[in-house]
Chain A
Amino acid sequence: MHSSQRGFFLIEVIIASSVIAVVLILLIGSIQNTVEVSQRALERTQASFLLEEGAEATKAIRDTSWSSISSLTPGTTYYLSYNGSAWVFTTTPVVIDRFTRSIVVTNVSRNATDDIAASGTTDSGTKLVTVTVSWSASTGLQTKSLAFYIANIRQ
């Protein structure tokens, strides 16, 4: 009876130690996850500035010459490149640090009341621009998009 009680004490200690060990190991794992979360947040901030820049650069190109936008093939992926004095569209992928920023232009249709509609007559003075920033993180490929309409202000 007494010897069996002593045996129990040893087993209890071993069980308690393993529980503590498992909890600590799990804790280390979840703590390391917080670094991932902060890094993702920083990357998302960097990506949102690149999106904003994509929109402003498209406007700068529009302000220079509408034909630079209207001549783009709808549905084709383009990239923004800074040539030293102005923003230009290019078909060669441009990687900014680890981020890739692509631009797709879509035609815009207007209905009988001149509102933007799914079908109707194609408006040559308005385009739908979608800027997408993608980057690879440890959790896989991340993307962030921004879509906006741009109009030929000088027509």
Chain B
Amino acid sequence: MLAYYLRLGFRSLRRNPVLTVLMVLAIGVGVASSMTTYAVFRAVSANPIPERSSQLFVPAIDVWGPKARANGRQLPDMLTYTDAMALMRAHKAQHQAAIYPVSYTVIPQDVSREPFAVKGDATYGEFFPMFDAPFAYGNGWDASQDDAHAAVVVISSHLNQQLFAGANSVGRTIRLDDHDYRIVGVLADWNPQPRFYDVNVYSNTFSGAPDFFLPFTRAIDLQSETNGNDSCYGSEGRKPGWQGWVQSDCIWISFWVQLPDAAAVQAYTTFLQGYAAEQKRAGRFDWLPEVKLFGFRPWMDFEQVVPPETRISLLLSLGFLFVCLVNTVGLLLAKFLRRAGEIGVRRALGASRREIILQFLAEATMVGITGGVAGLLFTGAGVLGVGMVFEPDVAKLAHIDASLVALTMAVALVATVGAAFYPTWRAARVQPAWQLKSN
């Protein structure tokens, strides 16, 4: 019987094509706009490191004090050199790594090639196990090389391709600025998006992977400037030169810790509070600095990694879908009630209300399926055209996959059938006697 109702529904759709096309287009456009903006939102708010994110934390220390906070400045979102080094030395977490972005020039050994700029991160050997970074060749460096300020480097598969045509380059030498480094590892394709571990690189949260990683201690020896944000608070001058900078209350270092369980989180929080109290006792601050340990998701929210544009567009698209559904309710109501006579005849011939409800829901299902197909086509066009609306870095992340296709169909179907409930109920309430009489 259901198959028959579906066939009936299909026929009825063909009976008033204008109304049908209107409904299908409204559902298609509504679903497509929501799905397109959702594809972008999903891409930018994705968890780039799902297996590990629950164990990753970012410590924050309020080195600028309550006065700065009263002026509306947020809790500093990076660490000073002093604090980053103290936390590294204390080594209270399973893994911890200070990170800051640097930019160097590669001088190719082949003198006919022009030098080119590369971007990378200065960090500690624990970075790689903490973030589960996969290696194509070799490995990261170890703690002894951190301590030795070793001239070693891990390069990206992209840089390896550029310099060594993708061959195993472990053990070979690369010249960055005026210094030679021994390659100890080549990463496999690893480019978590958003690039969560260092969101303070100028607006490049969604850009390509860094080209290399080198020991933090080495980068500091070379006095390599940060390539990311450097925020200093207050107008008091600091001591000149490199020493003045690293001793200042300027924040420029990202810091991540891995804490495997709740007890470790508790212990680390206590440690941070103790550290802050100790710094106050030592006379560095005349206030007790607030400390905070951010989890992964709260940190992404605090740093506003998801551009507000994507969120506003998603919400407006959902509002738009809702209007399309209200529209569909109205059109279905018109369509169903126009057939009051037919319903009256069926009811008089013995069809129960349940049968009528089934018949009209089946018809709505047909509308939903057609709307879903239209929605899929529009979503495809929308995702292709998303570059017109969002920045290229963000737009290129949006893509259609099986789950988006399934979701599009499901949303179209559920929404349409949901919208059909009221019109169906009205249709089922048609009084057969009244209809027969008026005919």
A binds B: no
